[in-house]
Amino acid sequence: MAIRKIRVIGDECLTKVCRPVTEVTDRTKMLIEDMLDTMYDAGGVGLAAPQVGILKRIVVIDVSPEGDSPIVLINPEIISTSGKQTGEEGCLSVPDKSGIVTRPKKVKVKAFDIDMNEFTLEGEDLLARAFCHEIDHLDGHLYVEKIEE
């Protein structure tokens, strides 16, 4: 288990478009384990690789109250969305702040798992929000760009 340092707003890693993963190596698996450890340690519900300084398209999410249902998304893409939700959002890279952001109510993503098998997953409410927020990180975007006054 290793906790990695979370980059905060102002760090250029958070503004970059990340590269797709072509192969899951032992190093990739270690990165994913560390991302989960780092997310749980920080009390977050999601973390994207650029937040720990790695410019690869990898996201981890866990929106369960118990923190025992990790989701790992490699090269995730949003394939459909529906509805709208407006609510509070925060980010481990923007410490001690939150803002109101509108996101789709339901989001379906396509991604690869740790064995590079493709799968799709549908999320609602907080999970839908997490999909959008984390995938935005992979394209160098932070939720603060989307805050409504």
45 lines the binding site for Ni ion (CB under 5 A): no
Q: Which two tokens stand for residue 37?
A: 């450890």
The CA distance from 102 to 11, in Å, is 25
49 lines the binding site for Ni ion (CB under 5 A): no
Query: Whose Cβ is closer to Ni ion: residue 111's or residue 137's?
Result: 137
Residue 134 known to be catalytic: yes
Query: Whose Cβ is closer to Ni ion: residue 35's or residue 91's?
Result: 91
Neighbouring-strand partners of residue 102: 86
23, 134, 145, 148: the catalytic one is 134
Least Å from the CB of residue 115 to Ni ion: 26
What is the Cα 116 distance to its own chain's centre?
A: 18
Least Å from the CB of residue 91 to Ni ion: 3
Residue written as token pair 């975007």: 141
The CA distance from 94 to 97, in Å, is 6
Q: Which stretch, 29-37, 72-80, 85-93, 97-105, contacts Ni ion (CB under 5 A)?
A: 85-93
Judge whether 45 and 61 are in contact, CB under 8 Å.
yes
**Residue showing the smallest CB distance to Ni ion in the complex:** 91
Selected from 14, 91, 111, 130, the binder of Ni ion by CB under 5 A is 91
Judge whether 117 and 30 are in contact, CB under 8 Å.
no
72 lines the binding site for Ni ion (CB under 5 A): no
- List of residues 6+ apart from 119 with CB closer than 8 A: 110, 111, 112, 113
6 lines the binding site for Ni ion (CB under 5 A): no
Residues forming the site for Ni ion (CB under 5 A): 91
Catalytic residue ranges: 134
